[in-house]
């Protein structure tokens, strides 16, 4: 029994749909720029990946008014994914046998901040009655179910930057346990509000602006000048099905989610990670073993690539710990440096890109790797995409604050 991907929906700084995301990743085009959503001039990182999605033009105005932007992004990405998979809930799949799994980190702060201003300036009666239901991380999950009439298993995963990977694993396990026939699994993040952005800044994870670097040069995974992530807004959802279900309805199969592994560092200080990479390596090994392959069968690694120095270095250590000498010949890439770290949607975006990369026979480059950082002995893909048509398996690495690790193994 296996789990396959039959549809993809994406709203990212590259545009709407997977095609613009893939084409810009393949070509090494950056979409990171100075923030224009609010005045970010006083922030350490005034740069972000911003989606141009106009909710008012795509969704009912009453719905937009009572929900946060992260719900808008998620609902539209799910609509895209279902259309891509040619699935209509209630026609092609039983609503009771259709599930939703969502990864998210911050919740809906754009809505919450607006209402908090009203609270302090005009009093509690000025606050929207939708405040309670608009901001919390599970809001997209509930609104997706309402929008599509879904009545099967639904869950929201909050595991920092690994949230989206956990959502995909949750979706796969729901299918393998026969709790559903179709699962919408993915993630969403809309961090571009003054307070949401401040939360990221105080996390210590963000890259700080430097006069020597243009906005599109600031996110530098594995480069000697790495100094943190540049975050972005967006949503990516996948349609997951058991292979036999997909084949029975004649679906186009984009690839297989063949393995996964999770681990937790349990390391102090909690805002850093276990320094040898051994615990992250266990998640990598579990993912490949579950898929029935070894490191020698891997064709590429889509790294977490946070550009936080101790995370970059330990990710390299983990690859060697898991795969030995094979790690040195593995093409490693982190294309998110071109469109930004999507937090709860980061792993789903990497999975979508990895599936397209295997189909196209081309590993996209990591943007902004000029000189690999000391201590990182990896075959980094940089200075352009790398052609490889014989490639069957890709490892996607995801990790979060507190040493949360989740790795996914994709098969073409």
The predicted pLDDT at position 270 comes to: 85
Strands 234-242 and 3-12 turn out to be antiparallel
The predicted pLDDT at position 389 comes to: 80
The predicted pLDDT at position 390 comes to: 83
Cβ atoms of 180 and 126 within 8 Å: the answer is no
Which tokens go with 52? 């141009």
Write down how long the chain is: 412
pLDDT < 50 stretches in the chain:
none
| Longest alpha-carbon distance in the chain | 64
Q: How far is CA 143 from CA 65, 66, 139, 260, 384, in A?
A: 13, 11, 6, 28, 40
Strands 404-411 and 393-400 turn out to be antiparallel
Strands 234-242 and 182-189 turn out to be antiparallel
The predicted pLDDT at position 121 comes to: 97
């Amino acid at each position: 029994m296996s789990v396959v991907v039959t549809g993809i929906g994406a709203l990212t700084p590259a545009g709407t749909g997977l095609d613009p995301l893939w084409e810009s990743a393949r070509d090494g085009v950056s979409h990171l720029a100075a923030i224009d959503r609010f005045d970010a001039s006083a922030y350490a990182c005034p740069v972000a990946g911003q989606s141009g999605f106009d909710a008012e033009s795509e969704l009912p105005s009453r719905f937009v008014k009572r929900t946060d932007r992260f719900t808008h992004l998620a609902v539209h990405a799910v609509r895209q994914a279902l259309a891509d998979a040619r699935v209509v809930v209630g026609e092609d799949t039983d609503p009771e046998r259709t599930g939703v799994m969502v990864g998210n980190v911050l919740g809906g702060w754009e809505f919450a901040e607006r209402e908090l201003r009203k609270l302090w300036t005009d009093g509690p009666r000025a606050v929207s009655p939708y405040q309670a239901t608009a901001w919390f991380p599970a809001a997209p999950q509930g609104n997706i179910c309402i929008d599509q009439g879904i009545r099967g298993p639904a869950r929201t995963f909050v595991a920092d930057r690994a949230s989206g990977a956990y959502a995909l694993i949750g979706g796969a396990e729901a299918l393998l346990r026969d709790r559903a026939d179709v699962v919408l699994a993915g993630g969403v993040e809309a961090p571009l509000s003054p307070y949401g952005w401040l939360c990221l800044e105080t996390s210590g994870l963000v890259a700080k602006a430097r006069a020597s670097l243009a906005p599109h040069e600031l996110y530098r995974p594995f480069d000697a000048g790495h100094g943190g992530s540049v975050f972005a807004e967006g949503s990516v959802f996948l349609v997951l099905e058991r292979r036999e279900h997909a084949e029975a309805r004649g679906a186009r199969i984009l690839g297989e989610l063949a393995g996964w592994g999770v681990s937790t560092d349990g390391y102090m200080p909690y805002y850093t990670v276990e320094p040898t990479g051994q615990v992250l390596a266990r998640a990598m090994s579990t993912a490949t073993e579950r898929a029935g392959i070894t490191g020698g069968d891997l064709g590429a690694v889509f790294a977490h690539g946070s550009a936080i120095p101790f995370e970059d270095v330990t990710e390299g250590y983990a690859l060697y710990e898991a795969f030995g000498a094979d790690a040195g010949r593995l093409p490693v890439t982190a294309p998110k440096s071109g469109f930004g770290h999507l937090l709860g949607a980061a792993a789903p975006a990497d999975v979508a890109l990895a599936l397209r990369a295997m189909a196209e026979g081309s590993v996209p480059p990591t943007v902004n790797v000029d000189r690999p950082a000391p201590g990182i002995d990896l075959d980094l893909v940089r200075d352009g995409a790398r052609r490889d048509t014989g490639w069957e398996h890709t490892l996607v690495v995801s990790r979060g604050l507190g040493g949360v690790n989740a790795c996914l193994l994709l098969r073409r």
